[in-house]
Chain A
Amino acid sequence: DAKTTQPPSMDCAEGRAANLPCNHSTISGNEYVYWYRQIHSQGPQYIIHGLKNNETNEMASLIITEDRKSSTLILPHATLRDTAVYYCIVRVFGGGADGLTFGKGTHLIIQP
């Protein structure tokens, strides 16, 4: 799986959009970008994934650059409950049972 780089921490005001960047310059053509988050002391939670087109679901939007070397996770109206560590993971879709490779992620703090 390709390596990812994320800022260690970010702040965002409640009600504003939170934009979390991720660099994955060595991504391969068949690798997807996945985002998970981990709210304090809980198990990680799946957010969204994408290959090359922008994706949106009820939780977030994912914007992937045309060259696929970076992406941005957008939480459109951040709430205090969105305070968590966000992990950007690159892997082949249905990439086998070898688990997810978690880095240190970005600690997003939503300020009231």
Chain B
Amino acid sequence: NAGVTQTPKFRILKIGQSMTLQCTQDMNHNYMYWYRQDPGMGLKLIYYSVGAGITDKGEVPNGYNVSRSTTEDFPLRLELAAPSQTSVYFCASSYSGGGVTDTQYFGPGTRLTVL
């Protein structure tokens, strides 16, 4: 299994541009998450999904959108990029159900700079 993969690894955007961060997992997990991590800080939840077609806001959703059309994919869309969105973005997935440990598995991250 590849686990959780993210593309791109790095990206520089100009203010006002848009982009989509891709996230794919091959573990058949039902839950998926997007976090951001600013320098020297812990991760903050942006959006999450409990299954295909179902998404909900986390702690810091402003400026982002998500969709989940399949179990495997959970793209994060940035509209009108702002310098405050300069951060490292991590996607994660977990399986929840039947008393199974809901360990979250993280991707390698996307480092985004908005200038």
CB of A100 within 8 A of CB of B43, answer yes
Q: A46-B103, A94-B102, A104-B41 are in contact. Are A99 and B35 (CB under 8 A)?
A: yes
Tell me whether chain A's interface is mostly helix, strand or loop, or mixed. Answer: loop
CB of A99 within 8 A of CB of B42, answer no
- In chain A, residues 36-87, which have Cβ atoms closer than 8 Å to a Cβ of chain B? 36, 41-46, 49, 87
Give 1 or 0 for each of A93-112: 1 = CB within 8 Å of chain B CB.
11111111111110000000
Q: A49-B101, A87-B42, A94-B96 are in contact. Are A99 and B106 (CB under 8 A)?
A: no
**How far, in whole Å, are A71 and B15 apart by their CA atoms in the complex?**
45
The count of residues in chain A whose C-beta lies closer than 8 Å to any C-beta of chain B is 22
**How far, in whole Å, are A36 and B102 apart by their CA atoms in the complex?**
13
Q: How far is the CB of B74 from chain A (nearest CB, A)?
A: 12
Q: Which chain A positions have C-beta within 8 A of B58?
A: 98-99
Q: A43-B90, A104-B40 are in contact. Are A98 and B105 (CB under 8 A)?
A: no
CB of A97 within 8 A of CB of B49, answer yes
Of all chain B residues, which has the CB nearest A87? B42
| B16 interfacial contact with A, CB 8 Å | no
Residues of A within 8 A of B (CB): 36, 41-46, 49, 87, 93-105
Interchain residue pairs with CB less than 8 A apart (16): A43-B92, A43-B107, A44-B43, A44-B92, A46-B103, A49-B101, A94-B96, A94-B99, A97-B56, A98-B58, A99-B45, A99-B58, A99-B59, A100-B43, A100-B45, A102-B42
